[in-house]
C-alpha cells in the first residue's frame, strides 16, 4: 500500500504541474495583443472632413431621433473630458491631443483605443443603430483606422 501511494502521489502532482504549466503557456501565447495602429491625427481629421456628417436631426421620426440623441449624450458623457463621468482613458486622450502634432499617432499610449473602443462606450453607441452606423463608427472607428 505504501509503495502504491509513494508512486501515485508524485505522479498525481506531476500531472497537476503539467496541466497548470500547459495552461500558463497556452494563455501566454493566446492573450490578446494591443492593436497596432499608425493612423496619425492628421489622417483622422482628414478622414472626418470627408464624411457625410450625419446627425440625429436627420431623422424625421421623433422617437428614433430621441433614441439617437440619448445614445449620443451617453457616449459624450463617457468620452468628453469636461464631463463629470469621463472615462480615465478619454481624459488622457484629450490631454494627449492638446499637446500632439498632426503627424503624431492618434492611438499613442492606446488612449484613443481605450476610450473610443471601450466596451461601455461602444455598447452605448450601439443602442441606436443610426447613431452607431452613421455617426459613431465612421468617425470614431473607421477614420481612426480600426
Long-range CB contacts (< 8 A, 24+ apart) of 64-68? 64/128, 64/130, 67/127, 67/128, 67/131, 68/128, 68/130, 68/131, 68/135
Q: Span 109-138, mean pLDDT?
A: 98
Contact between 81 and 90 (Cβ < 8 Å): yes
The closest alpha carbon to 78, from 124, 112, 32, 127, belongs to: 124
Q: Span 1-19, mean pLDDT?
A: 50
pLDDT at 12 over 60: no
Confidence of residue 98 (pLDDT cuts 50, 70, 90): very high
Q: Span 87-103, mean pLDDT?
A: 98
| C-alpha to C-alpha distance for 38 and 82, rounded to whole angstroms | 27
| C-alpha to C-alpha distance for 52 and 41, rounded to whole angstroms | 19
Contact between 67 and 57 (Cβ < 8 Å): no
| C-alpha to C-alpha distance for 51 and 47, rounded to whole angstroms | 7
Q: What pLDDT, on a 0 to 100 scale, did the predictor assign at position 122?
A: 98
Q: How many CA atoms lie within 13 A of 100 on its CB side?
A: 19
In DSSP terms, which residues pair with 105 in a beta bridge? Answer: 40
pLDDT at 17 over 60: no
The position carrying cell 498525481 is: 12
**CA 83 and chain centroid, separation:** 19
Task: Summarize pLDDT for 26-75 with one digit per residue, the tens.
Answer: 555 555 555 678 999 999 999 999 998 899 999 999 999 999 999 999 99
Average pLDDT, the chain: 86
pLDDT at 103 over 60: yes
Coil, strand, or helix at residue 34?
coil
- Residue that wins the pLDDT comparison between 70 and 19: 70
Amino acid at each position: 500500500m505504501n509503495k502504491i501511494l509513494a508512486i501515485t502521489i508524485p505522479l498525481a502532482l506531476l500531472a497537476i504541474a503539467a496541466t497548470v504549466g500547459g495552461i500558463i503557456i497556452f494563455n501566454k501565447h493566446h492573450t490578446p495583443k494591443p492593436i497596432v495602429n499608425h493612423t496619425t491625427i492628421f489622417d483622422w481629421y482628414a478622414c472626418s472632413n470627408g464624411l457625410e456628417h450625419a446627425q440625429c436631426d436627420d431623422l424625421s421620426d421623433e422617437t428614433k431621433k430621441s433614441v439617437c440623441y440619448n445614445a449620443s449624450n451617453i457616449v459624450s458623457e463617457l468620452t468628453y473630458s469636461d464631463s463629470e463621468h469621463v472615462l480615465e482613458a478619454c481624459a488622457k486622450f484629450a490631454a494627449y491631443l492638446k499637446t500632439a502634432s498632426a503627424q503624431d499617432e492618434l492611438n499613442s499610449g492606446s488612449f484613443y483605443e481605450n476610450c473610443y473602443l471601450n466596451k461601455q462606450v461602444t455598447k452605448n453607441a450601439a443602442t441606436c443603430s443610426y447613431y452607431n452606423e452613421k455617426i459613431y463608427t465612421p468617425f470614431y472607428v473607421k477614420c481612426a483606422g480600426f
